[in-house]
Structure 1
């Protein structure tokens, strides 16, 4: 039976020992973030802050921040089990005989849950209607010290295509500007931005509603990389095995989940000048830079009688969003395999923060198979942003990073095993010379190498004093050593922390600019780049918490009642 709402999920988390309640007063300005970050980094529990400074509402965070809680959220044994169900749908042999069709009937009936139901009247999300809007009464977080303000971090933003009337929902952060308005962070590549442009061309006001605190299947579905023609509520209904019930908003024609905790109703005036939004400590582990985005006017807030406000914190992995990304990796793998028959498995490592690295295993049955698969992936939806693709043979377990490392060190031999592909990059990628476009790198580790006893890599620290110094140091090291790979990182990076080094590498390189090949050996410059090295934008700062907040949280840790 599906969760009826977010509070039903909270009860299940608590029953399973996956929730900690914090009853003392805690500030939404940085303090909650520091607590949550510490808990996330040690794979800790979900947190329910019952007494948030300046707000009458409790705050839930890190609710899906582990593999176990992700499985509970989607009410499955595992996300692999969900993927297996999808694979059975896609297996056409199930429908080529009467016996196969009869066996598939229960599975096909489940598709009926995918159809959302529009219910007349009001839902629980409209038990209280507030037309005197004050966004600052909500326990909205300021997550990191350099953030421009307080941000909604887990909003489900509902919009409607002005031509077809089809609704779309996506998760876009929202910075509070004042009591009644926020910025709306619609990236150029996102569906919300395209819908906005259609309204803008006609000079029409665009209705928008934002649901906060839906059941976890609905929240997850809002993050899923679905084709534009598919309603995310269909995926949510199928996942939760119960139709999503929608109700019409009070002040516009958008339909929202009836059991949401809060709904912000309003509009975007497409004739209005965009507003400066950001910076914001983002899921890459860096601050995304300030830029101009549409302004969202909130005209009405509705909510349940005793609502819970949902939030998440993003930053250097592992964080809660990493586990949502891993769910997407497993759930959508069958669709990739249907279109790329050679593909066996995929791993999006946490350090790759969604779009910076994909490790693929393939059945390499012909020359160039790995390259064919790379190009297929780069041509597929949001996978086009993948900055680094590593391809190994299907005998390698891509979930075992030690096996992947051994395959790369043994089988990659200089330039002939590298693929450079220019194309679009994610809006949050900061390493390319220009925004939204750069060089993606493919590494073909499928060829059989001959062990030489020199299959090693090394990491060097470089305190750059002039442009190109990291490259000079790499040239020296490649000439003096027999290491297969040499990675240069900044002097303040702890080179023994391999997770940290990989995170820096995945974030900081452009394939064309930052590689040097010395025979069969490869140097990689993963240092911060200077404008003199080709960067045309400001290089963002690493996300770090201020020392005073870290000291405060350490002092209060026992008071929070956390282990």
Structure 2
């Protein structure tokens, strides 16, 4: 681990992990294009052997970190993709493999009682470092406060915030009324025309900051136990105004509701940089009551130094590059406001219509109402670097941060669900859409028990699709998992359907944050699993090359089909490319119609997916990505047991309101991210 961002940058450079770019590059779209290309290229150094075995398909990716020394319009260099490979993530966490950190956590959460005095001393040594991981508070100014701007001296347009994707901040372009944010005080800049603001400053976001908040009940506590660090995006609104975007289940949003109940603005500190462990700690899904500061201290080997903020009653990382202080308006209404609805009412005080934003889902997250941050101070180091990231179609930097969580948090998941032997969050699932789970099966319907346990376990509860496999299946091998699903998951019997909470960014859900989850029981079946009286038979044979050719040929003969693909990389899956894409109401129902036509004839394929015109269906990773993102089973699944078959089809085409089916609506459908 590294004590500050400058030391981390130096280490990256010495390891051949950094490219310095001396030419002037624009934070509006241009830096993002550099980073997006780099993140999808080969990394200069491969990570640990465990990272390679845990992610054999993508462990080699990530490119290099990029340091833009002369971003247009700012004096602060921009660092991006710093955490965008397994090797760089391991460097940031102390040159340790994720599984090694997980092993340390496992020993701490499941300690064995000592059997002798010698073992007692050994255990004491094991736990002694935990006494040092608490934050180190000091009343002295920190390095992050070498330069202090308050009042009129604050000008957030001097920061090289990125506009990552073309439609960021342009809610009119995704179908919302114009002028929603007109006449909100503090928006824009007194020295910048509306035309220039729209061209140069619209849709620019802070994306890699630690957001420090406390619960209102701790407002008078000198060492507040509720001190939370989250990582939420903030949109530039004006010279000293930002929009705070957080999801309702995040701790920061819960803190905001506590201040709203009190009727007072919520103090906030937005920290950029600091110890190399801080960005990961801010994203880490910790159990309730465990502060990210403690996790950061644990990873850092000692407590994180804190100093007092200048204008808000909070402690901030003393060694950060920059701190933005302010107060979040609590008179703002809640998200879930759609100005296109006749009963929407007014936007209301203290709020702004924030977004859209190119998100980690690979699509734009649509605009909504979020509270305004009124900035009271901006402090920074003399030679500060501005760290940032871009999210979008994977792999991006956030993929490797997420994989760190997958491995490091495994022991904590095991304390809740000890039946889980291992698990894998595949790239195509964008974290919340798919999880592959490996168990040692002990009794009938054991997989169902595990499914429901996961759907009640912290942030895993938002997982849309679960694939449960036996311990003989390599859970990190996508083809092996899909083969197990083909052989052992009879759709009508072995797919569990559950109504429940989904990721708020799931645009396919018929209602915000709720819809159908699917659990694919791909374990070998045993007596006692004859659900609905369906007998247990031999495993279903993986379709042969002849079977696949036959299915592809028939699919291509259906009206509205452009192409079809069934490869041995995705056993049992057929991907059909429909002549339909985003915002084409004239092609409504085409995906469902194609499915009906295909299911009218027998086929050896078990899982049939209809996708949009722009999807690269011969790349099974890309096809599965759009499958997971673009369907909700309550509206888009068709189950078929005719012609001696047992199969399920999914309409995963982009949709419009005219695609409503089974009384399940279609909400605002975002475009996929693209620089075109």
TM-score, normalised by the number of residues in structure 1: 0.94
What is the CA-CA distance between 1:100 and the residue it aligns to? 3.6
Q: Do residues 472 (structure 1) and 472 (structure 2) align?
A: no
2:315 aligned with 1:255, yes or no?
yes
| Aligned residue runs from structure 1 range 76-87, under 5 A | 76-87=95-106
Whether the 8 Å contact between 1:387 and 1:425 is mirrored in structure 2 is yes
Taking the aligned partners of 1:488 and 1:476, their CA distance within structure 2 comes to: 12
- Alpha carbons of 1:452 and 1:197: their partners in 2 closer, same or farther (altered >3 Å)? closer
Q: Specify which of 121, 132, 136 is matched with residue 157 of structure 2.
A: 136
Query: In structure 2, what is the Cα distance between the partners aligned to 1:509 and 1:109?
Result: 50
| Equivalent position of 2:252 in the other structure | 192
Alignment check: 8 A CA contact 2:64 2:81 kept: yes
**8 Å CA contact retained: 1:191, 1:228:** no
Query: CA offsets, 1:222-257, max 9 Å, x none?
Result: 111113311101000000112101000011111011
1:7-18 matches, within 5 Å, as 7-18=6-17
Cα 1:98–1:373, aligned 2, differ >3 Å: closer, same or farther? farther
In structure 1, C-alpha distance between the alignment counterparts of 2:105 and 2:421, rounded to whole Å: 15
Match of 1:462? Answer: 578
SS for the counterpart of 1:375 is: helix
Query: Matched residues in 2 for 1:49 and 1:294: separation?
Result: 31
Q: Report whether the alignment pairs 1:450 with 2:510.
A: no
Tell me by how many angstroms 1:342 deviates.
Answer: 1.2
* Contact 2:281 2:296 survives alignment (8 Å): yes
For structure 2, the residue ranges without an aligned partner over 5 or more in a row are 42-61, 170-202, 219-223, 332-348, 526-537, 544-570, 581-585
Q: Which residue of 2 aligns with 1:529?
A: 655
Tell me whether 1:488 sits opposite 2:610 in the alignment.
yes
Match of 1:552 in 2: none
On the 8 A contact 1:128/1:302 being kept in 2, the answer is yes
Structure 1 segments unaligned to the other structure (5+ residues): 547-563
SS in 2 for 1:222: helix
Please point out which of 416, 435, 438 is paired with 2:515: 438
The number of residue pairs the alignment matches comes to: 545
Structure 1 residues 342-375: Cα deviation after superposition (integer angstroms, max 9, x where no partner): 1100101111112111100001100111110110
**Structure 2 CA distance for aligned equivalents of residues 186 and 493 of structure 1:** 30
SS at match of 2:591: helix
Q: How does 1:16-95 map to 2 (within 5 A)?
A: 16-42=15-41, 43-95=62-114
1:216 partner SS: coil
Residue 308 to residue 453, structure 1, CA distance change in 2 (3 Å)? closer
Which of 207, 212, 218 is equivalent to 1:158?
A: 212
CA displacement 1:382-426 (0-9 Å, x = unmatched): 111101111000111111112112111111112111011111111
Given that 1:504 and 1:526 are in contact with CA atoms closer than 8 Å, whether structure 2 keeps it comes out as yes
Other structure's SS at 1:330 match: helix
Q: Is residue 545 of structure 1 aligned with residue 599 of structure 2?
A: no
Query: Where does residue 424 of structure 1 map in the other structure?
Result: 501
**What is the CA distance between 1:95 and its match in structure 2?**
4.3
Structure 1 partner of 2:123: 104
**Separation (CA, whole Å) in 1 of partners of 2:280 and 2:10:** 18
SS of residue in 2 equivalent to 1:390: strand
* Residues 296-322 of structure 1 deviation map (CA, whole Å, 9 limit, x = unaligned): 011111111100000000000010001
What's the CA shift for 1:536? 4.1
Give the TM-score of the pair, scaled to structure 2.
0.79
| Superposed CA offset, 1:55-111 (max 9, x none) | 001000000001111111111431011111111112232546544433223321121
Partners in 2 of 1:313 and 1:457 — Cα distance? 32
What SS is found at the alignment partner of 1:264?
strand
CA distance in structure 1 between the aligned counterparts of 2:638 and 2:398, rounded to whole angstroms: 33
Q: Distance in 2 between matches of 1:229 and 1:77?
A: 26
- 3-state secondary structure, aligned to 1:307: coil
Q: Equivalents in 2 of 1:91, 1:399: separation in Å?
A: 25
| Structure ranking higher on relative contact order (CA contacts 8 Å, 6+ apart) | 1
Task: Quote the Cα distance in structure 1 between the aligned partners of 2:117 and 2:590.
Answer: 69
SS, match of residue 71 in structure 2: coil
Task: Establish whether residue 280 from structure 1 lines up as the match of residue 357 from structure 2.
Answer: yes
Q: Distance in 1 between matches of 2:350 and 2:445?
A: 50
CA RMSD of aligned residues (A): 1.5
Structure 2 residue corresponding to 1:319, chosen from 387, 390, 396: 396
Partner of 1:220: 280
